[in-house]
Amino acid sequence: MTSYVLKTLWRHRTRTLLTVTGAAVAMFVFCFVGSVQEGLNRLTTGADADRSLIVFQENRFCPTTSRLPEDYASRIREVAGVRDVMPIQVWTNNCRASLDIVVFNGANPAQIQKTRPIKLTSGNWQQFAAQRDAAIVGRNVAQRRGLETGDQFSIGDISVKVAGVFESTVPSEENLIYTSLAFLQYTRGLDAAGLVTQHEVLLEHDADPDRVASEIDATLRAGSVATTTRRKGAFQASTLSDLVDLIGFAHWLGYACVGLVLSLVATTTVMSVQDRIKEYAVLQTIGVRPMRTMRLVLAESTILCLVGGIAGTLLALTALGIGGFAIGAEGATIAFRPSLGLAITGTIVSLVVGVVAGLAPAIQAATVPIVNSLRQS
């Protein structure tokens, strides 16, 4: 059966190649859209998103507009359920949605090393902690900007020396650049001495995040700047609200690509069956059962879809792995990363679509009227 199906596909090489190529392109887009959705889910869910809080200035959005006193940290630490507080100064080159956003996070180097799930692939922590204008750069940023340890990197009013490049188990971290808090506070043009953009609050294991958030806002209400405290995931989802809507719409684009593959493979298989209608009649005449004929056609459509779908999926995963793509807004970034789940989803979708696309042509081939079909020239 396999050799017969392969010979049938090879007989119409141009049509087979075009169908496989079309399926590959559609599944490439499907996987790319899926990676964006996965990136958003990783950013807004999980232990880090639910067990950390972000204290931000009330009614502020872009990081450049939030200016909180750094000494709020000591008052936040007194709230029951708080394990640690990390003041962070954020600077970004673009508050609007961008595919090449650069985000600096200034914080205490010791706290960065202790709390962030990052590992230096080059450089060392000692230089980063000792040199005020030193920075460690996420792998994706280094890849996009062509940065290596020892390079000088400048953007806007900020100029840093790359003390190391890091990778992380949290993909969004690889789109950040970390510097010391004092460096960003005293950089010319930022005018942020004694101020920070936000306070990141790490909670005790048994603390109720919502209760702690309410108590922090109540504690700081008498301060010079009012605050809004939310879970880190909720804060990032709110920050990226415009992109969340766009990604939700793009999700339908992924479904449209699946529909395109279904239509393309089904059309090709129907054409193939109609071209060989007399051949199927002959097969029935020599004793080939209808169910076997159906399996032949289903195998043909499934092979077309699987070859194209797997090729498109592998191409998408390769591009995602090499490209280091990310999109961000207002200091938060969504990383596009390849994943095993994405590979499995792409393969399963290709298999299912291949079977569904071949059902109607398979039934047609299995039920051809023998006499009328043999009379065709």
pLDDT tens by residue, 145-161: 889 999 999 987 889 99
Does pLDDT of 240 surpass 80?
no
Q: Under a CB-based contact definition with an 8 Å cutoff, are residues 206 and 82 in contact?
A: no
The pLDDT of 326-336, averaged and rounded, is: 76
CB-based contacts of 110, cutoff 8 Å, min separation 6: 129
Does pLDDT of 299 surpass 90?
no
The pLDDT of 228-252, averaged and rounded, is: 79
Phi, psi of 337, rounded to the nearest 5 degrees: -130, 145
The pLDDT of 284-303, averaged and rounded, is: 77
Q: Under a CB-based contact definition with an 8 Å cutoff, are residues 242 and 61 in contact?
A: no
Pick the range with the lowest mean pLDDT from 57-61, 82-86, 180-184: 57-61
Pick the range with the lowest mean pLDDT from 54-58, 62-66, 219-223: 62-66
pLDDT-derived band at 278 (thresholds 50, 70, 90) equals low
Mean pLDDT of the chain: 85
- Of 89 and 235, more confident: 89
Give the integer Cα–Cα distance in Å for 347 and 282.
Answer: 35
Give the integer Cα–Cα distance in Å for 118 and 109.
Answer: 12
Name the pairing type of β-strands 158-168 and 134-138: parallel
Could you tell me which residues are beta bridge partners of residue 107? Answer: 180
Give the integer Cα–Cα distance in Å for 93 and 97.
Answer: 11
Give the integer Cα–Cα distance in Å for 248 and 95.
Answer: 21
Dihedral through CA 182, CA 187, CA 190, CA 195, nearest 10? Answer: 10
Give the integer Cα–Cα distance in Å for 283 and 290.
Answer: 9
pLDDT-derived band at 376 (thresholds 50, 70, 90) equals low
Amino acid at 70: E
Confidence at residue 377, expressed as pLDDT on a 0 to 100 scale: 47
Confidence at residue 186, expressed as pLDDT on a 0 to 100 scale: 85
Helices (H), the chain: 2-11, 13-44, 47-51, 72-77, 109-115, 125-130, 139-145, 181-185, 209-220, 232-239, 241-275, 277-285, 290-323, 340-366, 370-375
Give the integer Cα–Cα distance in Å for 327 and 96.
Answer: 10
pLDDT-derived band at 284 (thresholds 50, 70, 90) equals low
Phi, psi of 170, rounded to the nearest 5 degrees: -105, 105
CB-based contacts of 218, cutoff 8 Å, min separation 6: none
pLDDT-derived band at 97 (thresholds 50, 70, 90) equals low
The pLDDT of 82-100, averaged and rounded, is: 84
Q: Under a CB-based contact definition with an 8 Å cutoff, are residues 362 and 304 in contact?
A: no
- Of 43 and 88, more confident: 88
The Cα-based distances of 31 to 118, 251, 315, 359 in angstroms read 27, 10, 9, 25
Confidence at residue 226, expressed as pLDDT on a 0 to 100 scale: 92
Give the integer Cα–Cα distance in Å for 197 and 185.
Answer: 10
- Of 50 and 114, more confident: 114
Confidence at residue 75, expressed as pLDDT on a 0 to 100 scale: 94
The candidate with the shortest Cα–Cα distance to 354, out of 268, 252, 256, is: 268
Q: Under a CB-based contact definition with an 8 Å cutoff, are residues 16 and 9 in contact?
A: yes
The pLDDT of 11-33, averaged and rounded, is: 88
Q: What would the pLDDT profile of 110-145 be if each residue is shown by its tens digit?
A: 999 998 889 999 998 999 999 989 999 999 889 888
pLDDT-derived band at 37 (thresholds 50, 70, 90) equals confident
